[in-house]
Amino acid sequence: MGPIVAVIAPGAMGSAVARCLTGQGIEVRTLLAGRTGASAKRAEAAGMRATDEAGIASADFVLSIVPPAVAVGLAERLVPALTRAAPKPVYVDCNAISPATMARVAAILAPTGCAVVDAGIIGPPPVPGAGATRIYLSGPAAARVAALEAFGLEMPVLDGPIGAASAMKLSYAGITKGFTALGAMMLLAATREGTAEALRRELAQSQPALLGWLARQMPRMYDKAYRWVAEMEEIAAFAGAGDPAARESFAAAAALYARLAADHAGDARETAALTEFLAPPASP
């Protein structure tokens, strides 16, 4: 028999991770109390089994895959059940949080006696066999978690302490999502000034790879922008620890994503402008 894995929560990423594991015959548990009907459907489709906190704590591994703003709250919520658990699971925080926030999570969980592993997910929700998603691990117990590679996940271990995987994740996300934010700012500025078409033509001629990247990534951002706000705030804390300019840059990116999230949920004026800019030119 393989290990029992708890995955919280069954969002797009969590349910995809669960599907990789259940496809290999692994039992995956989750919490559905207070979740939406859409979450319950994703959990069912991924083969996850709903349980309570005690059922989560009796798993072999607990993977926290939640929005960064609630990573600390989930750890606090599970402390009583994890304290009572025997044997202890390994708690794996897979969230886009700064090394400082990861250290806070580890400190919260220390009294439970559980081993804590830092993890950072890079790539889209995993698809079995695709090889496009890696879950980087760090910390003394990282090798124990890497055993899940035998069940459909790619989990490279970094040579570093707790916090190294979070630093890796936020450095990568700062480049990719930070560039998406920069692109959105400048495309909207060009649109406001009436130079959008001229800019699009110039990018197509001199920077086709950059334009292609924006055309692929920008529309995918709209539904996720609300989740990226807290991630940008975590990156601001991480990159800005010794660099005030980095802190200000990513704080501005957080504000932009908050605005675009509200726009997408409302009249979609700005997101429609971005889509129009990046749409392929009409055939003559």
The angle, 0 to 180 degrees and rounded to 10, between the axes of the packed helices 244-265 and 225-239 is 170
* Among the four given CATH numbers 3.90.1310.10, 3.40.50.720, 2.70.150.10, 3.40.50.300, the one describing domain 5-159: 3.40.50.720
The edge-to-edge listing of strands for the beta sheet with 61-64 is: 49-51, 28-31, 5-8, 61-64, 90-93, 115-122, 134-138
Judge whether residue 281 has pLDDT over 80: no
pLDDT in tens, 3-33: 999 999 999 999 999 999 999 999 999 999 8
Judge whether residue 140 has pLDDT over 60: yes
Q: Express as a percent the part of the chain with pLDDT over 90.
A: 94
Identify residue 2 by its one-letter amino acid code. Answer: G
Enumerate the CATH 3.40.50.720 domain ranges in the chain, comma separated: 5-159
CA–CA separation, 30 vs 19, rounded Å?
12
pLDDT at 284: 57
pLDDT in tens, 242-280: 899 999 999 999 999 999 999 999 999 999 999 999 997
pLDDT at 131: 87
Quick one: tokens of 104?
């806070």
pLDDT at 33: 87
Judge whether residue 158 has pLDDT over 60: yes
pTM of the model: 0.93
pLDDT at 282: 63
Residue pair 246/239 in contact (Cβ under 8 Å)? The answer is: yes
With b meaning 16 or more CB within 10 Å and e meaning fewer, what string describes 35-46? beeebeebbeeb
Domain 167-278 has CATH 1.10.1040: yes
CA–CA separation, 171 vs 158, rounded Å?
14
SS3 for 279?
coil
Chain mean position to CA 234: 12
Quick one: tokens of 177?
């999502």
CA–CA separation, 7 vs 105, rounded Å?
17
CA–CA separation, 228 vs 138, rounded Å?
23
pLDDT at 21: 97
| 282 CB-near residues (< 8 Å, 6+ apart) | none
The DSSP symbol for 124 reads S
pLDDT at 130: 86
The angle, 0 to 180 degrees and rounded to 10, between the axes of the packed helices 12-22 and 37-45 is 20
